[in-house]
Amino acid sequence: MKKIIHVLLILVSGNLAIAQEQIRKDEQYIQTYAKIAVQEMELYKIPASITLAQGILETGNGQSDLAQYGNNHFGIKCKGEWTGDRMYHDDDAKGECFRKYPSAQDSYRDHSLFLAERPYYKNLFLLDSKDYKGWAFGLKKAGYATNPKYAYTLISLIERYHLDQFDYLSSDQVGVKLAELYPDSYTPNLTDTNALQIILASLQTGEKKGTTTSQINQEESGSSKKTLQLKPNNFAFPNLRVKIHPNGNLRYVVIKEGDTLEDIAKTYGISMDKLKSYNDLDFQKDLVINQKIFLDPKNKTGIEKEYIASEGDTMYDIAQNNGVSLVELYKRNLMHPGQEPKTGDKILLKGKKS
């Protein structure tokens, strides 16, 4: 009996953790795209709540391949009139053609045009832009989705995250609303002083446990200032960060301000020991902006035969830029760890000096 209870507790705690992570990603999606949804509402009278709920649902809170590789947030397929970029993805059939956009904002605009320019959605625009329930059922009736529960799913998302609040806002009010809803995670634009004041107030009352990186100075009374420290969520959409190195199609990310090894390891499910080993981090202690961090073990050889060292090059830089193990690079060039090349030196990436 005790074993059964123990197993049930593990299952419950596991499901709770999954649910909490789902909520976190949904909220991150809302914080990222709410202003665009409201801007589209101002132009096309489509409820921002509906647009956001559709985006969350269609992209799996921004994590889908269509969103991350094609900036397609609404699952819109190519159709005959589409002349832009394309990507192919298995949906109702294998390898279907989907629209690919330069940015998420382009996807949101195409979504607005998709609804506004098709006659079978025209009755939706007779509804009030604050009638999210009418829009949800209207979309289903017009054939936007085949799922019989589509309207109920949209309504559930809207009510769970109070997205209908955005239907009453102008685009310049969105930052303040997001700061009110998410004081612990929202990073306002530096020019949005009202949102900054709300976050600052939450700091003063001990509601926000801040972190480091971007420093924002907010004027208070007289000449005194408060410094607001906010940490950007650099890994909200992790697949967008991953690049492929041609030396064996190795995955890597490029370091941005605020990145830590711990964040990278957790995001991509790699142990700290492996991450350090993959990147020869015993030789390089501190992360620097634009540094490559590999998610796979580097190769023993490079693509080219040799590399000519430029001024300021280190062996570590050469190893990372070429996707080559630093230890192997030292061995190949008969150099000892810590020795650095001079400008113009030939560093072998293949073969071995004799």
pLDDT digits (tens, 9 = 90+) for 192-231: 667 667 666 665 555 444 433 344 344 434 444 444 444 5
Bigger pLDDT: 156 vs 209: 156
Is 8's pLDDT higher than 90?
Answer: no
The reported pLDDT for the residue numbered 243 is 87
| CA–CA gap between residue 127 and residue 65 (Å, rounded) | 33
State percent of the chain over pLDDT 70. 82
Q: Kindly state the percentage of the chain with pLDDT values over 90.
A: 56
For residue 288, CA distances in Å to 172, 240, 292 come to 35, 20, 9
Distance from C-alpha of 133 to C-alpha of 154, rounded to nearest angstrom: 9
- The whole-number pLDDT of residue 184 equals 77
How far apart, in whole angstroms, are the C-alpha atoms of residue 278 and residue 43? 49
Residue 115: exposure state from Cβ atoms within 10 A (0-12, 13-18, ≥19): buried
What does the pLDDT average to over 161-165?
95
Beta bridge partners of 97: 88
pTM over 0.85: no
Residue 217 bridge partners (DSSP): 227
Three-class DSSP labels, the chain: CHHHHHHHHHHHHHHHHHHHHHHHHHHHHHHHHHHHHHHHHHHHCCCHHHHHHHHHHHHCCCCCHHHHHHCCCCCCECCCCCCCCEEEECCCCCCEEEECCCCHHHHHHHHHHHHHCCHHHHHHHHCCCCCHHHHHHHHHHCCCCCCCCHHHHHHHHHHHCCHHHHHHCCHHHHHHHHHHHCCCCCCCCCCCHHHHHHHHHHHHCCCCCCCCCEEEEEECCCCCEEEEEECCCCCCCHHHHCEEECCCCEEEEECCCCCCHHHHHHHHCCCHHHHHHHCCCCCCCCCCCCCEEECCCCECCCCCCEEECCCCCCHHHHHHHHCECHHHHHHHCCCCCCCCCCCCCEEECCCCCC
81-131: pLDDT as tens digits: 889 999 998 877 788 999 999 999 999 999 999 999 999 999 999 999 899
State mean pLDDT over 295-317. Answer: 94
80 pLDDT band, cuts 50/70/90, is confident
**Across 252-269, average pLDDT:** 90
- Going by pLDDT thresholds of 50, 70 and 90, the confidence category of residue 22 is confident
Least confident interval from 166-175, 193-202, 314-323: 193-202
> Burial code of 184-219, b = ≥16 C-beta within 10 A, e = fewer?
eebbbeeebbebbbbbbebbeeeebeeeeeeebeee
Q: Are strands 86-89 and 96-99 parallel, antiparallel or unpaired?
A: antiparallel
320/315 Cα distance (integer angstroms): 9
Q: What angle do CA 197, 202, 205 make, to 5 degrees?
A: 125
Read off the amino acid at residue 102: P
Residue 272 has pLDDT above 70, yes or no: yes
